[in-house]
């Protein structure tokens, strides 16, 4: 590719960009010592943007060598709010012994690009990069400003990426009113030949709780009635046994009704779990958006067989539906009881409506490339960098378009072994993204 004459289109280069990005091991364990690859990936992206004629801004959070890259492509109407297209460069760890191909090979085999990050989310990073390059080289002026952001640290909470930029460089997102990123825009085959593309319009909130129970320390051979380990164990067992009630929120109802219309199987509002059970592998993801959840994930106590310790500690991963922050906290307090000390970090839920020009642009870009396909809103049970951008008043959508084969267990690919993205789906997604951004 040269500046003088574009010889490679976005669709032509997207697969090799994904492979290149996968080959840069950007594993983010949260430990700064392991993070060399993240910076290398940011530099790779910056170089590709520079080659295309941009002057990208490379921003590191407080000298910690955590690279973020941001460019703005000016649009025709500066009076309209800008659109942010963001993606994270880091990935979760991968154990090569569990994989068919090496997780950092980026190998193209059997119609897929294989490797850690293929789905979460280097495919979208590559699509955005390819389209950004094509627009610049073709002299395309989109309807409004587009800000492309390639970010560090999403897999460890975004503290050195999106969160840091929102706190320290909000100027980079000046005028941005809407954003698109991961975990949406993928297809779900509802029945033979009938596809719905899921647009994420909401995310559950998360509450990471640190619990402590205190008791009287002493010799393990004696009578004890004030045991910290037993107290905390009983409290987390009560929490585990609790089933939070089903709450049918707007996006989940709209999604299940939409699937019902497309599949012809009636949707019984009194039994949403039955509707979720019919969703195949997608049931794992959608099922978690019917209710709040709280899972104990870490439990630490004691140091010797014959010593009763004075302290036991546990961590709980709590997730609540939009609008349920307060009652979730209240229920946890009741279940855990007064003897358990609680401290927590809360990242609130994210929610927007499924309407407006941008949603129409998603639907028309999808149907131009997949005639007869439908778009449906849905809620994500996990969190993304959207949580940070919401703090700037930005409307967030998960829209990383991807057409998937009907039998692919898509949700198992996130953070799982043999993560891979279909080449055809990737090229399809690049065409959809191009149309969408031209009409955004």
Enumerate binding residues for Zn ion (CB under 5 A): 120-121, 182
Query: The sheet that has 293-301: what strands, in order across it?
Result: 293-301, 311-320, 205-214, 340-347
Cβ closest to Zn ion, residue 14 vs residue 151 = 151
Rank residues 137 and 396 by Cβ distance to Zn ion and give the closer one: 396
3-state secondary structure of 328: helix
**Closest distance to Zn ion from the beta carbon of 416 (Å):** 13
Concatenated DSSP letters for 268-294? Answer: -TT-HHHHHHTTGGGHHHHHTTSS-EE
Distances (CA, A) of 3 to 6, 135, 251, 404, 430: 7, 12, 44, 33, 21
At residue 207, the 3 state secondary structure works out as: strand
Distance of alpha carbon 286 from alpha carbon 171, whole angstroms: 36
Least Cβ distance, residue 413 to Zn ion (angstroms): 11
Closest CA to 181 of 206, 158, 148: 148
Kindly report the number of other CB atoms within 10 A of residue 298's CB atom: 11
Residue closer to Zn ion (CB basis): 162 or 275: 162
- In the bound state with Zn ion, the residue whose beta carbon lies nearer, of 262 and 286, is 286
Kind and range of the H or E run holding 44: helix 36-51
Least CB distance to Zn ion at residue 182 (A) = 5
Detail the DSSP E strand segments found in 321-418. 340-347, 350-351, 374-380, 395-398
CB of 382 to Zn ion, least distance (A): 9
Contacts with 84 (C-beta within 8 Å, 6 or more apart), sequence order: 146, 147, 149, 173, 176, 178, 179, 180, 389, 394
Residue whose CB is less far from Zn ion, 58 or 414: 414
- Which tokens sit at 347? 């990242």
Of 209 and 350, which CB lies nearer to Zn ion in the complex structure? Answer: 350
Q: Closest approach of Cβ 124 to Zn ion, in Å?
A: 9
Nearest 5°: the CA angle 188, 182, 147 is: 135
CB of 154 to Zn ion, least distance (A): 6
Q: For the CB of residue 206, give the shortest distance to Zn ion in the complex, in Å.
A: 14
| Alpha carbon distance 124, 41 (integer Å) | 14
Closest CB to Zn ion among 88 and 403? 88
Residue holding tokens 């669709």? 11
Comparing CB distances to Zn ion, the nearer of 7 and 29 is 29
Q: Which lies closer to Zn ion via its Cβ, residue 142 or residue 425? A: 425
Distance CA 190, CA 262 (A): 7
Cβ-closest position to Zn ion: 120
Alpha-carbon gap, residue 325 to 73, rounded angstroms: 38
Measured from the CB atom, the residue of 182 and 351 that comes closer to Zn ion is 182
What value, to the nearest 5°, has the Cα angle with vertex 123 and ends 198 and 419? 90
CB of 365 to Zn ion, least distance (A): 22
**Closer Cβ to Zn ion, 13 or 182, answer by number:** 182
Shortest Å distance, C-beta 7 to Zn ion = 32
Residues 6+ apart with CB under 8 A from 13: 1, 130, 133
CB < 8 Å & 24+ apart, contacts of 268-275: 272/246, 272/248, 273/246
Closest separation between CB of residue 351 and Zn ion, Å? Answer: 19
- Tell me how far, at minimum, the Cβ of 121 lies from Zn ion, in Å: 4
């Amino acid at each position: 590719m040269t500046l003088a004459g574009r010889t490679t289109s976005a669709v032509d280069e997207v697969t090799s960009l994904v492979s290149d990005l996968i080959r840069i091991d950007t594993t983010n364990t949260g430990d700064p010592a392991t993070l060399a690859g993240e910076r290398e990936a940011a530099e790779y992206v910056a170089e590709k943007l520079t080659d295309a004629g941009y002057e990208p801004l490379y921003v590191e959070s407080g000298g910690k060598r955590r690279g973020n890259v941001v460019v703005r492509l000016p649009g025709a109407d500066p009076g309209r709010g800008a659109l942010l297209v963001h993606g994270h460069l880091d990935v979760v760890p991968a154990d090569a012994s569990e994989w068919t191909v090496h997780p950092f090979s980026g190998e193209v085999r059997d119609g897929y690009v294989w490797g850690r990050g293929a789905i979460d989310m280097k495919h979208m990073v590559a699509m955005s990069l390819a389209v950004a390059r094509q627009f610049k080289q073709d002299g395309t002026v989109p309807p409004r400003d587009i800000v492309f952001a390639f970010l560090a640290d999403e897999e460890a909470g975004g503290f050195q990426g999106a969160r840091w930029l929102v706190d320290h460089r909000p100027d980079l997102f000046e005028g941005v009113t809407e954003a698109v990123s991961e975990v949406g825009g993928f297809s779900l085959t509802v029945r033979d030949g009938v596809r719905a593309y899921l647009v994420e319009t909401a995310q559950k909130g998360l509450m990471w709780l640190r619990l402590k129970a205190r008791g009287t320390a002493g010799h393990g051979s004696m009578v004890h009635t004030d045991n910290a380990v037993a107290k905390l164990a009983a409290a987390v067992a009560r929490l585990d046994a609790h089933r939070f009630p089903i709450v049918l929120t707007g996006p989940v109802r709209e999604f299940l009704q939409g699937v019902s219309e497309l599949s012809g199987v009636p949707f019984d509002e009194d039994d949403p779990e039955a509707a979720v059970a019919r969703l195949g592998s997608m049931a794992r993801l959608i099922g978690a958006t019917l209710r709040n959840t709280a899972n104990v994930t870490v439990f630490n106590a004691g140091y010797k067989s014959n010593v009763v310790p004075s302290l036991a500690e546990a961590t709980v991963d709590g997730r609540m539906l939009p609008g349920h922050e307060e009652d979730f906290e209240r229920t946890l307090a009741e279940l855990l009881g007064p003897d358990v000390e609680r401290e927590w970090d809360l990242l609130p839920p994210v929610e927007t409506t499924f309407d407006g020009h941008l949603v129409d642009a998603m639907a028309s870009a999808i149907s131009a490339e997949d005639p007869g396909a439908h778009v449906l809103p849905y809620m994500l049970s996990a969190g993304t960098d959207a949580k940070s951008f919401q703090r700037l008043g930005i409307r967030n959508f998960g829209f990383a378009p991807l057409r998937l084969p009907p039998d692919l267990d898509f949700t198992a690919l996130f953070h799982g072994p043999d993560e891979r993205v279909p080449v055809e789906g990737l090229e399809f997604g690049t065409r959809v993204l191009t149309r969408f951004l031209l009409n955004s």
